[in-house]
Structure 1
Amino acid sequence: MLLMPISKVRPGMRLGRRIYNEDGLTLLGEQVELTETLIGRLAAHGIDFLYIDDPRTNDIYFQDLLTDETRIRATMEIRNTFRKVMDDTVKRKAVSTYQLGKQFRNILTMIIDDLSDHKDAMIMLTNISVMDDYLYQHSLNVCIYTTMLAMSYGFSRDELMTIGLGSLLHDIGKTQLPTDVLKKKGKLTDSEYATIKRHAEYGFQLLKDEPNIPLLAAHCALQHHERIDGSGYPRNLKGMDIHEYARWIGIADSYDAMTTHRVYRNAMLPHQALEVLFTGSGTLYEKQKLELFRDKIAIYPIGVLVRLSSGESGIVVDLNSSAPMRPIIRILQDADDQELDAPYEVDLSKRLNLVITEVNDVKLSLLT
């Protein structure tokens, strides 16, 4: 299957992977034929990329990190809980978070168990969802990224639970913000940006006294926008004054924000987001943490179209965990863009003279 920008998807193409609705249930199944109307509706819902069926690559298979049951339960729990907190705020009722800790611990246990079955896998979120609110999917994505990384680096089960809860609930403070500011499509005014920044403190206040939520998880909500040079918020903390968990979550939060559709811009591909992150190496984020993050992320996701320095083009069909920037490519076209009668595969980890120069027809610079 191909991972294509929705701008290049044409009527008559068929889905290669399911699309989920906000309840985590299948909205459009595999092999559904796309029409101009369907493509338009998906684009209107903020979907920038689709997996498209392609007979030249129909042997490619990759497994979601979460089971359907876990995804559905996690998505519904996040949505229902966050909506209730929002409703209480709008109605000026005392915000009730009773049992929040117990509910999310159960969800996180399921997430940790699922990720444990894939702990050596490259991190690649493969589910595409139509969500009515960016906040819900973002919270789950950041939790998956952060927990997977923490697991890879040997965190204990108790530590995984704490950093997992902190990442899952890092943005719960946004439930306290005015919807018109939170979902504004245009540039924020200075006053509106100041309002947005308060979500870190709001999140801490919601979580700090919550039974079954470790105080460290509340500090993750408070500190995930702090940066090591002191330029972050809300307290302008520097370096090691920022808790390690919050430093990890800050990277995952920024990465997912860039690779997910927002109301004011389209999603980036992983390599583009990583290039942006690395511009903040040593100032916003620790260089070592960025390098570890890069080594666990599928920089070039399976299914993405690439061009090599040889001029040939093809599709990423597999990943090299020991060399994430050098995946395995199935060459489909020669340097003159002629389709090959007999496509063949090139392992870039063994062909060091070749590099990827374009992804989805966009030229790229090499990551440092």
Structure 2
Amino acid sequence: MAASDKKASIADALDEQYYQINLDILESFSKYRPPLNLFRFKEDVARVLPYCKAGERLSNEQVEQLAQLVDEGLVFVSRADHPVYVKHISYQLDLVLVDKNLHETEIADIFTQALTRRLGEFFAQPVPMVFAKLWTDMMVLTEYLFHDAHRIRALSRRLHPTHNLCNHSFNCGVMGLAVHIKANAQHYEAGEVKRKFLDHLTAGLFLHDLGMTKIPAFLLEKDKPLTGDERAKVQRHTQLGYEMLAKLDLRFPEVEECVTDHHERLNGSGYPQKKQAPALGQAARLCALVDSFCAMTVKRPFAPAMEPAKAAALLAQDAAYDQELSRVLQALVMLAGKK
């Protein structure tokens, strides 16, 4: 049996219990103190045995031996350590593009943790230096989806159940991409979607509420109806977000639409400009839909969570939203409910 075939057969046999580590992943670990329990496949007894414990100090000889064993495909991590592995990879997100041993659901866990954390860091300090890290991670996501857009399905099953700015932004980003991809499945399969468009739409969906970082927290957390003045202050977030885009050098049409128009409605009932159908682009229509859906389906200070199927049905019956996109959202929710 060829060496490559041998590695593959070992990995296949152990796949349900262990991750097989490659050199890219090993090099992301602390050289002398790997953060996880590592296991070695002993070929003579055909068993996986402990190699070193998490945080255990390795000698120079062990470091060299470990690299050699990894190159031979003989080093593994227990899937029981999945939470630790997810946390480690989430800090170096591009590793999901090179680790061929992760399941799609496991990669979805990593993206969920990484992007939610990055959003939280950026919203706490919305400056270019911090944004650059979030942008890098969003581009890892679009790279991952561009090769197989259907991968968004696993992510869409990992929406946060509680409401705060970073959770809501993550949920809207994921659901917006899920609706967009399903609505344009034929174009993705035919390779007709441009990567830059996907990049910019993704940024717009995740950052649509950027201006909320400038709104006092007590208004966002208030559990009683807002006064007229308070509502006016909150509604300024679309304009504030637009102004912030220039400082971040994010003046792309898809991003601007999501930030400025996600509260506009096709029938002119929205804000801030009461735009109507002809003036609203596809990114704005998409963002408006998923923004409402994601707000309706989580518990907020002033309202309980609504069942996703009920929320999607209400939106599909509301002329304020794009009916074609609403039907796609409804179909996604029904499909998820059958899993």
TM range (shorter): 0.5 to 0.7
Q: 1:268 aligns with which of 306, 321, 325?
A: 306
Does the 8 A contact of 1:138 with 1:257 survive in 2?
A: yes
1:255-294 alignment to 2 at 5 Å?
Answer: 255-280=293-318, 283-294=319-330
Residue 168 of structure 2 aligns with which residue? 138
Say yes or no: does 1:244 pair with 2:275.
no
Does the 8 A contact of 2:169 with 2:207 survive in 1?
A: yes
Residue 67 of structure 1 aligns with which residue? 108
Residue 84 of structure 1 aligns with which residue? 125
Q: How far does residue 193 in structure 1 lie from its aligned partner after superposition?
A: 1.3
Residue 163 of structure 1 aligns with which residue? 201
TM-score (normalised: structure 1): 0.57
Residue 149 of structure 1 aligns with which residue? 179
Say yes or no: does 1:180 pair with 2:204.
no
Residue 340 of structure 1 aligns with which residue? none
Does the 8 A contact of 1:200 with 1:221 survive in 2?
A: yes
Q: Report Cα offsets for 1:304-336 as digits up to 9, x if no partner.
A: xxxxxxxxxxxx4x3xxxxxxxxxxxxxxxxxx
The AA in structure 2 aligned to 1:81 is F
1:356-367 alignment to 2 at 5 Å?
Answer: none
Q: How far does residue 103 in structure 1 lie from its aligned partner after superposition?
A: 2.6
* Alpha-carbon distance in structure 2 between the residues aligned to 1:219 and 1:100: 23
* Alpha-carbon distance in structure 1 between the residues aligned to 2:240 and 2:230: 15
Which ranges in structure 1 are unaligned for 5 or more consecutive residues? 1-19, 27-61, 86-96, 303-315, 319-368
Does the 8 A contact of 2:238 with 2:261 survive in 1?
A: yes
Pair 1:213–1:103, CA change in 2 (3 A): farther
* Alpha-carbon distance in structure 2 between the residues aligned to 1:111 and 1:300: 23
Pair 1:299–1:225, CA change in 2 (3 A): same
Q: Higher helix fraction: Structure 1 or Structure 2?
A: 2
Does the 8 A contact of 2:121 with 2:130 survive in 1?
A: no
Say yes or no: does 1:126 pair with 2:168.
no
Residue 298 of structure 1 aligns with which residue? 333
Residue 100 of structure 2 aligns with which residue? none
* Alpha-carbon distance in structure 1 between the residues aligned to 2:124 and 2:240: 16
Does the 8 A contact of 1:102 with 1:212 survive in 2?
A: no
Q: 1:109 aligns with which of 139, 146, 152?
A: 139
Q: Higher strand fraction: Structure 1 or Structure 2?
A: 1
Q: How far does residue 111 in structure 1 lie from its aligned partner after superposition?
A: 2.1
Does the 8 A contact of 1:225 with 1:232 survive in 2?
A: yes
* Alpha-carbon distance in structure 2 between the residues aligned to 1:260 and 1:244: 25
* Alpha-carbon distance in structure 2 between the residues aligned to 1:192 and 1:65: 42
The AA in structure 1 aligned to 2:311 is A
Pair 1:124–1:75, CA change in 2 (3 A): closer
* Alpha-carbon distance in structure 2 between the residues aligned to 1:279 and 1:163: 25
Does the 8 A contact of 1:204 with 1:222 survive in 2?
A: yes
The AA in structure 2 aligned to 1:174 is M
Q: How far does residue 242 in structure 1 lie from its aligned partner after superposition?
A: 1.4
Which ranges in structure 2 are unaligned for 5 or more consecutive residues? 1-82, 89-102, 188-192
The AA in structure 2 aligned to 1:239 is A
1:33-52 alignment to 2 at 5 Å?
Answer: none
The AA in structure 2 aligned to 1:171 is D
Q: Report Cα offsets for 1:15-62 as digits up to 9, x if no partner.
A: xxxxx9xxx869xxxxxxxxxxxxxxxxxxxxxxxxxxxxxxxxxxx9
* Alpha-carbon distance in structure 1 between the residues aligned to 2:208 and 2:330: 22
Does the 8 A contact of 1:139 with 1:170 survive in 2?
A: yes
* Alpha-carbon distance in structure 2 between the residues aligned to 1:173 and 1:151: 26
Residue 330 of structure 1 aligns with which residue? none
TM-score (normalised: structure 2): 0.61
